[in-house]
Amino acid sequence: MKNDKHEHLVWTEVSRERVLKTPIFTVCTIHRKSSAGKNAAFTFLECGEWANIVPLLKNEAGEDCFLMVRQFRQGGQSLTLEFPGGLVDPGETAQEAAARELREETGYEAGRISFAGEINPNPAFMGNRCSTFIAEGLRKTSAQDLDENELVDCELVPVSELEKNMGKGVYNHAIMVVAFFWYQQWKAEHGGP
Amino acid sequence: MKNDKHEHLVWTEVSRERVLKTPIFTVCTIHRKSSAGKNAAFTFLECGEWANIVPLLKNEAGEDCFLMVRQFRQGGQSLTLEFPGGLVDPGETAQEAAARELREETGYEAGRISFAGEINPNPAFMGNRCSTFIAEGLRKTSAQDLDENELVDCELVPVSELEKNMGKGVYNHAIMVVAFFWYQQWKAEHGGP
């Protein structure tokens, strides 16, 4: 740790007000003091952990694919194609949440799940992590089991399509770009599809 | 567009309440109706556009480096090393904002700035874009010019360090992983460092 050298950059929390509770996060104002004694207030979203999962399987033509979910995103106000994922529930590990989201959104279960990486979605105003897992040995075991306001279609997307278009069009979700980044590192290390 | 085929996934906005205004976004509740007539409320952050910039230059040993900024992130509550960036001001283009953030946070100006890609930071509850630019031909033209509560140190980080550690430790900001992803595509196309 080189923290001593960077001590002049550090702010310490003085107090925290919870200003607004929403279904997906609580908005806070955090009062902090800098090492030099400055006082300032910062907006912060208290939020649970997130998890997503990159499910690998072949299509009927034998091509390596991702099992992805197409949904209307209420923020982007358009359809996206994403890896399954969501909030980690209380008492769950990130891996359990990833397996559950895979099952609920697609009806598939994995023979093997591996951790690929984790990230802070936005350390400017969030403190949570999003963990990414790789799912192999998939088999369909049930129907979808969606939350009341979830409308989700499953699609097989060739790996080559994402190698070409990740980050663009329906693939424009930053967190999915990061999941794909972790997938590429996992692939380089494990030689998978 | 394959939207017709996916019409059953689409929600239409009925009304929007602005619930809380903060310095960095406005929290809204958006009421929407699904194609099948379901009604539901969703949390949304109204937020300006963002821009960041990947500044390329060599260190004294002649090694290809990124010019990065070390700062304490109020959300992650720890120090990060990131590419310069921030909010696009009213009347500015994303490229102008990127150039301005580079100048303010580092005191450098670029001989050439190229667009590398853009992303939605989180279409689950945000609708804005973050654009990434590549800066070449850097020269130091001024001192830093920071906002009142910005404490930022500049550092040269070898490209090889990020190729190895992007996404981990002080590099754990999702938006920076995406910027690096765009940089890698730009590099593959342009053959730069």
Nearest to B172 by CA among A33, A132, A31: A132
Residue B36 sits in the same domain as residue B67: no
What span, in angstroms and rounded, lies between the C-alpha atoms of A84 and A179? 11
**C-beta atoms of B149 and A3 within 8 A:** no
Residue A64 sits in the same domain as residue A128: yes
Mapped onto helix, strand or coil, the DSSP state of residue B70 is strand
What pLDDT score does B148 carry?
81
Residue type (1 letter), B121:
P
Number of cross-chain residue pairs from A and B with Cβ atoms under 8 Å apart: 176
Number of domains in chain A: 2
What pLDDT score does B193 carry?
72
Residue A8 sits in the same domain as residue A56: no
What pLDDT score does B1 carry?
41
Residue B158 sits in the same domain as residue B78: yes
What pLDDT score does B67 carry?
98
Residue A128 sits in the same domain as residue A163: yes
Residue A110 sits in the same domain as residue A137: yes
Please, which residues have CB within 8 angstroms of residue A12's CB and are 6 or more apart in sequence?
A32, A33
**C-beta atoms of A75 and B120 within 8 A:** yes
**C-beta atoms of A43 and B30 within 8 A:** no
Residue B69 sits in the same domain as residue B127: yes
Residue A149 sits in the same domain as residue A184: yes
**C-beta atoms of B120 and A76 within 8 A:** yes
Torsion angle of the four alpha carbons A139, A144, A145, A149, in this order, in degrees rounded to the nearest 10: 140
Residue A40 sits in the same domain as residue A54: no
What pLDDT score does B175 carry?
98
**C-beta atoms of B25 and A43 within 8 A:** yes
What pLDDT score does B2 carry?
47
Residue A161 sits in the same domain as residue A76: yes
Please, which residues have CB within 8 angstroms of residue B193's CB and are 6 or more apart in sequence?
B56, B58, B64, B159, B187
Give the CATH number for residue B113: 3.90.79.10
pLDDT in tens, chain B (193 residues): 445 789 999 999 999 999 999 999 999 999 999 999 999 999 999 999 999 999 999 999 999 999 999 999 999 999 999 999 999 999 999 999 999 999 999 999 999 999 999 999 999 999 999 999 999 999 999 999 988 888 899 999 999 999 999 999 999 999 999 999 999 999 999 876 7
Mutation site, A24, A164, A176, A177, interface B, largest B CB count within 10 A:
A177
Give the distance from residue B32's alpha carbon to the nearest chain A alpha carbon, in angstroms: 9
Residue B59 sits in the same domain as residue B112: yes
What pLDDT score does A1 carry?
42
What pLDDT score does A3 carry?
52
Residue B102 sits in the same domain as residue B156: yes
* Euclidean distance between the first and the last CA atom of chain A, given in angstroms as a whole number: 37
Among A11, A38, A75, select the one facing B125 at the smallest CB separation: A75
What pLDDT score does B3 carry?
52
**Between vectors from CA A35 to CA A125 and to CA B47, what angle results, nearest 5°?**
20
What span, in angstroms and rounded, lies between the C-alpha atoms of B188 and B193? 10
Regions of chain A short of the pLDDT cut 70: 1-3, 192
Could you list the residue range(s) of the whole structural domain that residue A19 is in? 4-46
Q: What is the DSSP string of A13-55?
A: EEEEEEEEE-SS-EEEEEEEEETT--EEEEEEEE---EEEEEE
Among A25, A44, A181, select the one facing B177 at the smallest CB separation: A181
